Structures are given as structure tokens and as C-alpha cells.
Amino acid sequence: MLLFTPGPTPVPQNVRNAMSDATMHHRTPEFEAIFAQTRKHLFKLFNTDEVVMIASSGTGAMESAVINLCHNTLLNVNSGKFGERFGKIALAHNLKSVEIKNEWNTPVSVDAIIEAVKADSNIDAIAVQISESAGGLRHPVEEIAKAVKEINPNIMIIADGITAVGVEKIDVTNIDCLIAGSQKALMLPPGLAILGLSNNGIEKIGTGKGYYLNLASEIKKQKQNTTAYTAATTLIIGLLEVLETIEADGGIDELYTRTAIRAEAVNSALQAIGLHIYPESPAKSMTTIDDEKASEIRKVLKEDFKVNVAGGQDHLKGKIFRINQMGLIPNYEMAWVVNSVELALDKLDVRTYDGTANKVFNEITFKLSTDK
Ligand SMILES: *Cc1c(COP(=O)(O)O)cnc(C)c1O
């Protein structure tokens, strides 16, 4: 089965091998050396003043960011399940929450954020997805961050980059916390989350909030290449292997370029066979198609062609399907997926197969890859 869901993503074989050695104790010079190397790579990937790894799924990092960086009212952007989650986290910790809600295909407008910030002086943090995975959309996070800092530089910007870090270059100039998760663009099993932090963010954190998720305790320890509690040693060993693999494969900018080309080629290929891109501002992390036959298409993909793509959740259940673009994906695999979608449409009597999708995918991939 080809795993083409936008998380979890496939783990490369060399990374699985790296994680298969005997368990290492986390309080040893051997592991601390691995930790230090990993941190070095992460600083390059995040471009932030500090990075912290915690043993949790992505949601743990979201919770940690909210409790440590928001002390009063959180403004959260809800254009999907993950944006909604930030508001729920705030309420669970007795923080106040102001929400800007949109349909799942609609990115938040910078003006709406400015208006909300001006209307409520209690707002001390904003949480938003860079790529909202529920509908595959890209929010204008960098513009939001810049506009908000012009109004009040003390408002913390929490950017959920779980399907963005490792997908595209993110301008972190005005971002105080950038979150990544292991099982999405970082091509690892679930269980590790990473937070990139600004110096202003660290100042706001002070002595930190929470216990396990207290960022102050982690920052203090991780600067010394260790962790406050038992480190997720195996996943960190895997992360180092992933980051070294990306480097050996041409570097992170090369990965961003290839991801962007692939996303464009797939979007164009599927549009060429009459399919419709769901989000108004598609993220590069995934291709999201809305179609009344979404469930049937997914079923044919799985049963006839051994391709697993994601469906939709909540009110989009059965209405969309999402194809992963994150990670090191060989073009021949993506060509297989694109061709399978076209064959599925033929099988479902939507459109007669003529190879258009693959032709467009190959044309665009070749053109953009040789244009550089
Ligand atoms: C997957 C995802 C999360 C949540 O991560 P978990 O690892 O499931 O806790 C948060 N935000 C976005 C954008 C995601 O795609």
C-alpha cells in the first residue's frame, strides 16, 4: 500500500534502520552528542532563536505553546479542525478565547485579525495554522504576524507549522513560536514534537507554565543537550537521520523546491481531468480535492491501486480527499497516484481514461525541474 495521507507519512528505509539499534540511555555522552547534532540541524530548519523537542504528538506542542505564551486571551483562527483545537486548549486551561471562524476552504484575512486585535486589548497571543490540514489551506501567517507586531509587539504569534515546517521556507521574523510534528513533513513515526522559539517568546515564558509542558524547564535543559524528562531517544535518532538525509539529498531548499513543483504538477494534473481544488489558497503540503464522489474515488484508489489517501473530517466527510505532498516522494510514486485517480474516474464513469493526468504531471514536473 502506498501511504499518501498528509500525516502520517512514510518513514524512509534508512531512517527505520537508524532507529532499529539497541535502546540507548538518554543521560549518556553518546546520546547527548546525538542531541547536540540534532539541535544544530533544527536551528537551520527553524531559523528561530531556540528549539525544543518534546515527547508528544503535535497537539502536546500546541498545548505547551498556548499555556506558556498566552496568559490572558487567545485569538485563534478556526478554518478547520486544527485551528479549532487551539481554542479548545485555551478554554481547557481557563484562558479566554476569541475565535475567527471561516469555512474550511477559506484562509483568514489579515484585516479580520487586525480588527479582532484592536477590539480586544486582552488578546496577548494569536494561534494560527500555517497549513490547516483539515482542508489543505495556507493561512497568510507571515503577513498576519507582521501586521500584529506593528500594532503591539507584545502579542505572541504561535504558528502551527506541523504541515509546513519541512514543506516550504517560512519567514519567522515576527513568529514567536513555530511548531512541528514528527509524523508529517519530518517523515518519522508519531510521538515527537518540536517548538522553535523567539527571544521575545522566551522572555514571555519566564519561569514557564504547566509541569511536563513547561517550556522554561525544557529550554534550560536542552541548551545543555539534555531534556527535563526522558527524551524520545529513538525518535530523535530518527530525526537526525532524516535531517542528514535531507542535507545529503541536496539540502532543505532543494526539498522545498521539489515539494513546490510536485504540488503544482499534481494540482494541475487533477484539474486537467476535471477535478476541483478545494481550498482558496492551497497549501503545498497536500492536494485537496472536493468532489461528490470523493469516497468512491478513495475506495477505488485503495482497492484497485493500493493507494491510501485521506478523506475529510466532520462536515467534509465523504466530500473531499487529500493527497500528501510532504517529504521525500519519488516522482514515479506520485505519477502512479495521479494516474490511479484518472483510472478511478474512468471506473466510476466520470470520464474516459486518456492519460491526461499523467501527461500534465510529467510535463509540468519536467518543465519546472529543468527551468531552474
Ligand atoms: C496533524 C496536525 C496536528 C495535530 O497533531 P497530532 O500529532 O495529531 O497531535 C496539528 N496541526 C496540524 C496542522 C496538523 O496537521
pLDDT in tens, 240-285: 999 999 999 999 999 999 999 999 999 999 999 999 999 999 999 9
pLDDT in tens, 323-345: 999 999 999 999 999 999 999 99
Q: pLDDT band for position 175 (50/70/90)?
A: very high
Q: Which domains does the chain have, with CATH numbers?
A: 11-248 (3.40.640.10), 252-371 (3.90.1150.10)
Cα angle at 30 between 24 and 35, to 5 degrees?
90
Q: Residue 21: beta bridge partners? A: none
223 contacts: CB under 8 Å, gap ≥ 6: 50
User: How high is the pLDDT of residue 216?
Assistant: 98
Q: Residue 6: beta bridge partners? A: none
- The answer on pLDDT for 127 being more than 80 is yes
Task: Please tell me the residue having the least CA distance from ligand 1 atom 12.
Answer: 162
pLDDT in tens, 196-215: 999 999 999 999 999 999 99
CA of 5 to the centre of ligand 1 (A): 13
Angle, to 10 degrees, between the axis of helix 29-46 and the axis of helix 233-248? Answer: 50
Give the 3-state DSSP-derived string for 175-225, with helices as H, strands as E and coil as C. Answer: CCEEEEECCCCCCCCCCEEEEEECHHHHHHHCCCCCCCCCHHHHHHHHCCC
- The residues lining ligand 1, judged by C-beta closer than 6 Å to any ligand atom, are 7, 57-59, 82, 129, 133, 160, 162-163, 181, 184, 190
User: How high is the pLDDT of residue 108?
Assistant: 98
**Which amino acid, one-letter code, is at 24?**
M
* Residue to mutate (ligand 1; options 9, 160, 194, 322; most atoms within 8 A of CB): 160
Q: Which atom of ligand 1 is the closest one to the Cα of 132? A: 13
CA of 81 to the centre of ligand 1 (A): 9
User: How high is the pLDDT of residue 371?
Assistant: 81
- Region 224-239: mean pLDDT is 98
CA of 89 to the centre of ligand 1 (A): 13
Q: pLDDT band for position 72 (50/70/90)?
A: very high
Q: Which atom of ligand 1 is the closest one to the Cα of 181? A: 7
CA of 162 to the centre of ligand 1 (A): 6
Phi, psi (rounded to 5 degrees) for 298: -60, -40
* 323 neighbors 307 (Cβ within 8 angstroms): no
198 contacts: CB under 8 Å, gap ≥ 6: 48, 49, 50, 172, 175, 176, 177
Percentage of the chain modeled with pLDDT above 70: 100
CA of 82 to the centre of ligand 1 (A): 7
Q: Which atom of ligand 1 is the closest one to the Cα of 60? A: 9
User: How high is the pLDDT of residue 310?
Assistant: 98
Mean pLDDT of the chain: 98
DSSP codes, 312-343:
--GGGTTTEEEEE--S---HHHHHHHHHHHHH
pLDDT in tens, 50-69: 999 999 999 999 999 999 99
User: How high is the pLDDT of residue 234?
Assistant: 98
Task: Please tell me the residue having the least CA distance from ligand 1 atom 3.
Answer: 58
pTM above 0.85, yes or no: yes
CA of 59 to the centre of ligand 1 (A): 6
Give the C-alpha separation, 13 to 147, whole Å: 43
Q: Which atom of ligand 1 is the closest one to the Cα of 59? A: 9
**Which amino acid, one-letter code, is at 185?**
A
Give the cell for residue 207. Answer: 519561569
User: For residues 299-330, b (16+ Cβ closer than 10 Å) or e, as one string?
Assistant: ebbbeebebebbbbeeebeebbbbbbbbbbbe
Q: Residue 77: beta bridge partners? A: 100
CA of 55 to the centre of ligand 1 (A): 14
Longest dimension (CA), the chain: 63
User: How high is the pLDDT of residue 372?
Assistant: 61
CA of 42 to the centre of ligand 1 (A): 19
Give the C-alpha separation, 191 to 142, whole Å: 27
* Residue to mutate (ligand 1; options 9, 130, 163, 178; most atoms within 8 A of CB): 163
User: Among residues 264, 250, 256, 249, which one has the least CA distance to residue 365?
Assistant: 264
Q: How far is CA 338 from CA 9, 97, 112, 171, 283, in A?
A: 17, 41, 37, 31, 18
* Residue to mutate (ligand 1; options 76, 89, 133; most atoms within 8 A of CB): 133
CA of 353 to the centre of ligand 1 (A): 36
